[in-house]
Amino acid sequence: MNKRKIVIAAALLIAASVSAQPKLTLQVGNATRSVSPTLYGLMTEEINFAYEGGLYSQLLRDPSMQENVQMGGNRRGQQQQQQAPRPTQTMRYWLLADTTSGTIRFAQNGGISFENKKSININLTKDGASVVNPGFWGIPVYPAKRYFGDTYIKGQGRATVGLRSLDGSKVFAQKEITLNSADWKQYSFEFTTPADAQRTKDAQFFITFEKAGNYSLAYTTLYPESGKQVTCKSNWFRQDIMDLLREMHPKFLRFPGGNYLEGNRFADRFDWKSTRGNVINRPGHRSPWGYWSTDGMGILEFLCWCEEMGAEPILGVFAGYVLSGDYVVGDALNSFIQDALDEIEYTIGSTSTKWGAERAKDGHPEPFKLTYVEIGNEDFFDRSGSYSQRFTQFYNAIKAKYPQLQIISTQDERALRGNSVDPQGLKVDVIDEHYYRNAESMYRAAQQYDSYDRNGVKIFCGEWATREGKPTTNMNAALGDAAWMTCMERNSDILVAHCYAPLFVNVNEGGMQWESDLIGYDAITSFGSPAYWAQVMFAGNLGDKVVPIQSEQIPTMEMGREPVPQLYFVSTRDTKTGKIYLKVVNGGATAQKVNVAVEGQKVSGKAKVITLKGEGPLDTNDIDHPTKITPQNSQLKVSSNFVLSMEPYSIKVVIM
């Protein structure tokens, strides 16, 4: 072959391989479909030690003295729980450092407030004995950190409170207090660690009593100073976790659940009115996820949490149905409807309203913003069929007083598909759909909303996750999530909002009740899973119009029963800046060169490319490798035709 023929053959070969490559044509001129301004948000509830031992920065385990252990008993289960507490009971998290220095006993009726009747009686037989608390799998010690707290004690003499190493040999910081009351007395304290203190979570809280004798101890708290300027309860929130959340650019926070809204029994629901004010006046309740919630994260804290993130609440109101299947309808529902109306007034009412004034008394005179109220949670589990009636009662009452609010139904989406009217003929503003799937199912569902009626009921995907990896998600989950997000973003004219669940997990043994969570932490370190970073990339790079994409030659990958596409994509454009965002997901093990054509807008110069990739689907971040997989920035020369290289198992955002 002569030189000319070789060149022609090579050119033909290249042309052939280029034409076999996947191609995406961005039709910018046809970008008319609007992106919902509330598309990306967060969902939260007390699960996986989300607040206690998580976002709520109070550091002591069992501050309200709930968790006692039966000693020497031989009855088990239900029968035992119903027994009156016996004098042999001791505590699970309030312990004597030296077990030979006396006894600690649970006292059921000796507390400091009507709402918090529990306390402990301490009988010390040795001088200088210490009561210790382990925190939530440790207590974080930072250099030059101010800590503050309160304790309620009956007793006389000198005591020292502070933080020390687990064996007690090293004191990090402490404060002496003088006890001088035979009755309950509050002692506020603070201490600061020295500038050269070592950062560690291997610390315990202690109260050392100078003299042997009898003491009683009730509600005891310890908070680290946040270091942030206090705006709306900044000290209340663990700031490293707040920083991770802010990076997600959430537009809303759906709270307080999830199952946590409902509770196992009526008494265990999220009863917002009892979650206000001083923590000693909040009775707390058991989370359906099995552990005690002090309700330190109460209604105002949730609202302030929204404010601190620049998000607005999606307020879930209790709708008269609990997880055991118990429900009320008709007149019996009226008090719960009134509670919901009051909760809305507390959120958005002016200070001249009853509950707006209460909010001001709690420290926040300005009303919060509210667009969406959700009636209940997952009421498609209510097989009694009572939801339609319960929903109707709530809907009518809320719309009568607040016609501007959008009401979200949790009715089974299949019953409503395409109707926007519930079985009783009532108009539904939005329905909440939940999807927990594996990566394969997410890939198969990645076109789900493309065929939905554009004039049908609006959708809120209020819980979803690709459940791969535990306790936090792995790269496989991130890929499934990203594929699913391309679908939600492309269809955000009808899908008005979505949020992943669950958001948090304390990764210590015993911390997790639900696998595949977005953000993990222990007492001192927090990290985002690969799926977290996929959301940061998607939510932080979003236009206001969807750019239609014509795709050609999309490869498939073998998976389960039949192949699925290997590439997923979506594009949006910001009308104000003219910026185009292209997101591409490669779920497969082979690299792909994607030809990108941009029509209807001239693009040139260097685009920013953000890449998230793993060495394989199981690759992940964990508490010891918190930043193994994080987004990396690079640049790419773009024009009306360019090639985007997609590495195996990668997610890319191109900003041009």
Residues contributing to the site for ligand AHR (CB under 6 A): 45, 47, 257-259, 377-378, 463, 501-502, 514
Q: Residue 508: helix, strand or coil by DSSP?
A: coil
Q: Mind spelling out the 3-state secondary structure of 460-500?
A: EEEEEEECCCCCECCHHHHHHHHHHHHHHHHCCCCEEEEEE
Query: Which CB, 514 or 649, lies closer to ligand AHR?
Result: 514
- Taking the C-alpha atoms of residue 323 and residue 458, their distance in angstroms, rounded to an integer, is 26
Helix (H, G, I), strand (E, B) or coil at 422: coil
- Nearest residue (CB) to ligand AHR, 356 versus 502: 502
Residue 358 vs 378, nearer CB to ligand AHR: 378
Q: Which residues pair with 106 in a beta bridge?
A: 120
613: amino acid identity, one letter: K
| Residues written for the chain | 656
Q: Which is nearer to ligand AHR, 102 or 258 (by Cβ)?
A: 258
DSSP state, 52?
I
d(CA 498, CA 250): 10
Write b or e for each residue in 571-585: b if 16 or more Cβ atoms lie within 10 A of its Cβ, otherwise e: bbbbeeeebbbbbbb
Name the minimum Å distance from CB 248 to ligand AHR.
17
How far is 71 from 89, CA to CA, in rounded Å?
A: 5
Nearer to ligand AHR, 63 or 462 (CB): 462
- Nearest residue (CB) to ligand AHR, 502 versus 614: 502
SS3 397: helix
Kindly state the smallest distance separating residue 377's Cβ from ligand AHR, in Å.
Answer: 5
* 249 CB neighbour count, 10 Å cutoff: 18
What is the nearest approach in angstroms of ligand AHR to the Cβ of residue 502? 5
Q: Which residues pair with 189 in a beta bridge?
A: 149
Least Å distance, CB 153 to ligand AHR, is 38
Whose Cβ is closer to ligand AHR: residue 222's or residue 253's? 253
Q: Please give the backbone phi and psi of residue 450, each rounded to the nearest 5 degrees, phi first.
A: -60, -30
Q: How far is the CB of 232 from ligand AHR (least distance, A)?
A: 26
Calpha distance 368→354 (Å, rounded): 15
On the question of a cis peptide bond just before residue 258, with omega within 30 degrees of 0, the verdict is yes
Q: Which is nearer to ligand AHR, 238 or 434 (by Cβ)?
A: 434
205 vs 203: CA distance, rounded Å: 7
Find the shortest distance in angstroms from Cβ 51 to ligand AHR.
Answer: 14
Under 8 Å between Cβ of 296 and 60: no
Least Å distance, CB 405 to ligand AHR, is 22
State which residue, 343 or 432, has the beta carbon closest to ligand AHR: 432
Element housing 322 (H / E): none
Separation of alpha carbons 305 and 315, rounded Å: 13
147: CB partners within 8 A, 6+ apart? 59, 163, 173, 190, 191, 192, 193, 222, 223, 224, 225
Q: In this complex, which beta carbon is closest to ligand AHR, that of residue 39 or of residue 501?
A: 501
Q: How far is the CB of 58 from ligand AHR (least distance, A)?
A: 23
Considering the complex, what minimum distance in angstroms separates the CB of residue 284 from ligand AHR? 19
Among 11, 24, 25, 15, residue whose Cα is nearest residue 646? 24
**Residue 555: what residue type?**
P
Nearer to ligand AHR, 345 or 432 (CB): 432
Closest contact distance (angstroms) between CB of 259 and ligand AHR is 4
In angstroms, rounded to a whole number, what is the distance separating the alpha carbons of residues 261 and 240? 26
Q: Are 41 and 311 in contact (CB under 8 A)?
A: yes
Q: Based on CB atoms, which residue is closest to ligand AHR, 47 or 159? A: 47
Residue nearest ligand AHR, Cβ-based? 258
To the nearest whole angstrom, how small is the minimum distance from the Cβ of residue 321 to ligand AHR? 12
Q: Which two tokens stand for residue 176?
A: 């002496």
Q: How far is the CB of 503 from ligand AHR (least distance, A)?
A: 9
Is the Cα dihedral 386, 387, 392, 397 positive or negative? positive
Nearest approach in angstroms of CB 551 to ligand AHR is 33
| Calpha distance 136→54 (Å, rounded) | 9
Give the residue with the Cβ less far from ligand AHR, 22 or 258. Answer: 258
Q: How far is the CB of 43 from ligand AHR (least distance, A)?
A: 7
Distance CA 229, CA 244 (A): 18
Q: How far apart are CA 629 and CA 610, in angstroms?
A: 13
Cβ proximity to ligand AHR, 45 vs 301, nearer residue? 45
The C-alpha atoms of residue 30 and residue 221 are separated, in whole angstroms, by 58
